[in-house]
Structure 1
């Protein structure tokens, strides 16, 4: 009997030690560099934010967070690339709502399901678009703009980065909710669209606040309204379009996702580290200067945000008739 008790005690110790080791392994994430895939080109708002957060996550968690840009097909190529990696937390998608919430309806086959293929980690920021006009445009403010367009249906055009792009759909939503008739002119990217508005070949464009604020501040563009439901602190005198058009709201949010099946412990570690990063004063200062509203969505809140935007943008995409095969 004493011998049996010794064996039993040894087995218990082995089991306890084994569980402790497993727990330590789970808690140790990350133990090697983490790959951050940005499915858009370098230099854009998403890329800027991803690099800022990644640098800070490396300091928080003690491993490099390496940003890799995989642009193409409106973000679909980089998003698909994440799904080919193991669901272990070492490959993370740093993306925007136009890819996750618009592409599933816009593209006949985007190559991913934003809900079934991904685990939400955190939403970090909301980027307003600004309805900008050339300084020669007759309307000086939002009220005048709405009245001018209603008095002159089909006369005025707006530029966009292409059919189905966010700045196209923001214009389509404006038409729908305010019963306006603007003419859409698609370009191959936001840069040529912006260039033609600056050159007064086209009178207006929806542009992200970070990409347009310098031209607004220098007087090269006039800001008519912001696309979010409330005014932005970076442009306190510019009204939200929803102040004149009830229900109008559309932002570009930035969020982190992991492949479906990534362990909850890893998701929790990434979320908590991201929250710690967002509380750092220099990060908040950088967001403020870019005109980005900081978000603090946990995985459940991000999942709800995505569900709401999938429903909203699906209707707008279908009403616009835009589709990419």
Structure 2
């Protein structure tokens, strides 16, 4: 996590130079851009995408239209982006799943995360929040583990689908805790949260943005965050690592473009993204969603993605999750 914060800081420091270079090269869009999102409207990825699209549109002088293409853990949208014309007018809100975890989860991918994408810049880190129905008599990870150990195979956890971050985080938690839980996949995080509130399942490990409102309303109880450090949005909620040392799942997202996109376009969009993420209003909105802004340059984002591939491969291996 320290390295990630360092990269974010370096990206912010590089902003003026990146802006000057991008504008000196003269790329300026003369029609709307599209921002492809691999998940349904209303979810955490979509909400972040719409915030980024608005901020970029204001700075580029052209609308940035969000296009949702859900399915296959984001792979459908990623393939569409990889095959799009590399002209600067198509960008993608890439995620840790699409760019790192899915390569280990799926037997084959219709795209290569390193070869088919041109990194633009990271947007944020997103903690998963382990939440339970308030009727469940547990208030922290230790109590949840004890409860599950006493009831092997009787605790059901929901996810947004096989191989999604919700699935991975909960599966890794169960594996590290040595408990037997049952995975119930849904078609998205929202229906899983709805069934959790209704008491039809017992737990989910959701991106914080999707359940923070329900936690604050008392509809769900927050048990732990999956990042190495506690979240400023819920500082009273412990990390899983406080009970299971070394446990960490830090989701992330950013912008990517089809490989071959003109460098001038990449640099201009990157510069405006850095400007947007340095804006106090944008940063506050991301923080309120439970995200941690993490701006960096295209080069730094490319290096980061390369380091994340083996890390997520190990997470997939430990969790035992797989998708045909």
- TM-score scaled by length of structure 2: 0.86
Cα 1:32–1:49, aligned 2, differ >3 Å: closer, same or farther?
same
Cα distance in 2, alignment partners of residues 271 and 153 from structure 1: 49
* Match of residue 185 from structure 1: 184
| Partner SS for 1:317 | helix
Larger deviation, residues 267-276 vs 144-153: 144-153
Which residue in 2 is equivalent to 1:114?
113
User: What's the counterpart of residue 228 of structure 1?
Assistant: 227
State how far apart, in whole Å, the 2-side matches of 1:294 and 1:25 are: 27
What SS is found at the alignment partner of 2:121? strand
1:90-122 Cα distance to aligned partner (Å, 9 max, x none): 211112212222222222232111011111111
Query: How large is the RMSD of aligned CA atoms in angstroms?
Result: 2.2
Whole-angstrom CA distance in 2 between matches of 1:36 and 1:187: 25
C-alpha change, 1:34 and 1:243, in structure 2 (3 Å) is same
User: For 1:296, what is the secondary structure of its paired residue?
Assistant: coil
- 8 Å CA contact 1:32–1:63 kept in 2: the answer is yes
The answer to whether the 8 Å contact 1:216/1:223 transfers is yes
User: Could you tell me how far apart the structure 2 residues matched to 1:27 and 1:45 are?
Assistant: 34
Q: Is the 8 A contact 1:37 1:93 kept in 2?
A: yes
**What is the distance in 1 between the residues matched to 2:294 and 2:228?**
15
Render the CA deviation track for 1:167-210: whole Å, top value 9, x for unaligned.
Answer: 11112211233333333233333233222221222211111211
Structure 2 spans left out of the alignment, 5+ residues? 1-21
Tell me if the contact between 2:43 and 2:189 (Cα under 8 Å) persists in the aligned partners. no
Q: CA deviation at 1:235?
A: 0.7
Mapped contact 1:172–1:316 kept (Cα < 8 A): no
CA contact under 8 A between 1:161 and 1:193: conserved in structure 2?
yes
Structure 1 residues 120, 192: closer, same or farther in 2, change over 3 A?
Answer: same
- 2:226–2:249: 8 Å Cα contact kept in structure 1? yes
1:221-247, Cα deviation, whole Å (9 max, x unpaired): 110001111111111100111222122
Secondary structure, aligned partner of 2:295: strand
Q: Greater RCO between the two (CA within 8 Å, min separation 6)?
A: 2
Q: After superposition, what is the alpha-carbon deviation per residue over 1:30-50, rounded to whole angstroms, capped at 9, x for unaligned?
A: 233222212222222222222
The structure having more radius of gyration, on CA atoms, is 1
How many residue pairs align between the two structures?
303
